Amino acid sequence: MRRTERINSLLREELSELLKRELEDPRLRCLVTITEVRTSKDLSHAKVYVSLLDREREEDIMKALTGAESFLRRELGEKLHLRRIPRLEFEIDRTIERAVRLTSIIERASKEIGVEE
């Protein structure tokens, strides 16, 4: 495994733990899952993809995550002992939504083909 892949994995695991155990923000009391982390080659930035159970509070949850960035970076620095802790940019992972939509389209198309035969 390449170094950036190991760091991505470590960041994902540690951020998940920090969200569960350390953050006190009530906006983050719903289910927030870190699905993936992608760091830049120079480790200066990391995109953190999150899956949210509560879509209605999406904007508030993302603001809370962004507001917690400096705390999360400080905690990561203490736990991971990396030379550089990347800046964190949170983004909603829409993979599940796209998969559900695609599955629905495929099922409709299959039914239409079956009806026409």
Domain extents in the chain: 3-116
Cβ burial of 2 (10 Å; 0-12, 13-18, 19+) is exposed
Q: The sheet that has 32-39: what strands, in order across it?
A: 32-39, 45-52, 87-92
CA-to-CA distance for 19 and 72, rounded, in angstroms?
Answer: 9
CA-to-CA distance for 113 and 37, rounded, in angstroms?
Answer: 40
58-116 residue pLDDT tens: 899 999 999 999 999 999 999 998 888 999 999 998 877 777 778 888 888 888 887 54
Return the minimum-mean-pLDDT range out of 6-10, 33-37, 81-85: 81-85
Tokens coding 42: 């120079």
CA-to-CA distance for 42 and 90, rounded, in angstroms?
Answer: 18
CATH of 3-116, one of 3.30.300.20, 3.40.50.1580, 3.90.1150.10, 3.40.50.300: 3.30.300.20
